[in-house]
Structure 1
Amino acid sequence: MLYQNVFIEFYEQVISSINDGTFAKLTLAKTIGDTELKNIYVRLHILENGGYNFALTSRYKTEEVENFYSSDELFNVLSSYIKNPFLTFLLFTTERDLTFKVNKKNAGSIIQQEPTFKNASPVMLEMIQKGIIKL
């Protein structure tokens, strides 16, 4: 698949934004056709043992479902949604916004834009404050 290496690069940027304390939000959008699944939102979740994982909220036409994944699991879960049904993944950080897109020819690309958010997510800030992420 032509987009796989580009997606790996994009996912490395997701993890890097967490390690740098700049992560604000990750969203999957722009589906292929009219699907039951409309959006997926990924946010950080602090564990009781002092670590973190990811809360993945899947928004369907009639309900929301939340699941939790480690960073290793999240890569495989997100990969499974590429072109099934999502074409666009948006990473929002305090430094820049990154958009991973797949076109009709299965080519992936990453577009960088000015940041939408001035502050990291509240959970990201709490992780820094608690020393879960050391800057």
Structure 2
Amino acid sequence: MSFQPVFELFWEKVKESIENHTYAKLTLAKTIGDTELKNIYVRPVLLENDVFSLSVTERYKTEEIESFHTLDEAFIILAPYVNNPFLTALLFTTENDITFKLNKKRVGTIIEQPPTFKNASDVILEMKVKGIKI
């Protein structure tokens, strides 16, 4: 069984957290072996004219590359990194921490734990105040 449907479910939780103004941050981590790419961080930003976007920062051993994408584009960009090289995606919200994990057999699971963050991302809070929807 492919882990992709489980990652899609995880991504729905990412969308919900943004829509519900509870999103704090998202990180892809725990690589397979020693890779050039160490982490990917996803944070919300408001571009010109209060256009919602996601900043995707790829952190390599020697550099960082930042790009901006819509929610749907970010999924398309991040999905190929799951299992190559990342085994874990961590979504931090004010309601709970949601972890997508791949085990040794590459079976995906979603685990929910108590929240690490008390406050949503500053951009998410600004969106709530301004009434900006995604």
- Shorter-chain TM-score bucket reads over 0.9
Deviating 4+ runs (over 4 angstroms): none
Question: SS of the residue aligned with 1:133?
Answer: coil
Deviates more, 1:41-50 or 1:3-12: 41-50
1:130, distance to aligned residue in structure 2 (A): 1.5
Q: TM-score, normalised by structure 2?
A: 0.95
Within 5 Å, give how 1:37-116 maps onto structure 2: 37-116=37-116
Q: Summarize deviations over 1:30-83 as a string: whole Å, max 9, x none.
A: 000001111110000112233201000111111111011111111111111011
CA RMSD of aligned residues (A): 1.2
Question: Relative to structure 2, which stretch is displaced further, 42-51 or 16-25?
Answer: 42-51
| Structure 1: 5+ residue stretches without partners | none
Q: Distance in 2 between matches of 1:73 and 1:21?
A: 20
Tell me the CA shift for residue 128 of structure 1.
1.0
In structure 2, how many angstroms separate the alpha carbons of the residues matched to 1:50 and 1:33?
40
Q: 1:101 deviation in Å?
A: 0.6
Distance in 1, Cα, partners of 2:98 & 2:128: 22
How many residue pairs match? The answer is: 134
Percentage of matched positions with identical amino acids: 62
Which secondary structure state, in structure 2, belongs to the residue aligned with residue 30 of structure 1? strand
What TM-score do you get using the length of structure 1 for normalisation? 0.95
Q: Give the secondary structure class of the aligned counterpart of 2:117.
A: coil
User: Would you say 1:120 and 2:113 are equivalent positions?
Assistant: no
Matching residue's letter, 2:133: I
Corresponding position of 2:34: 34
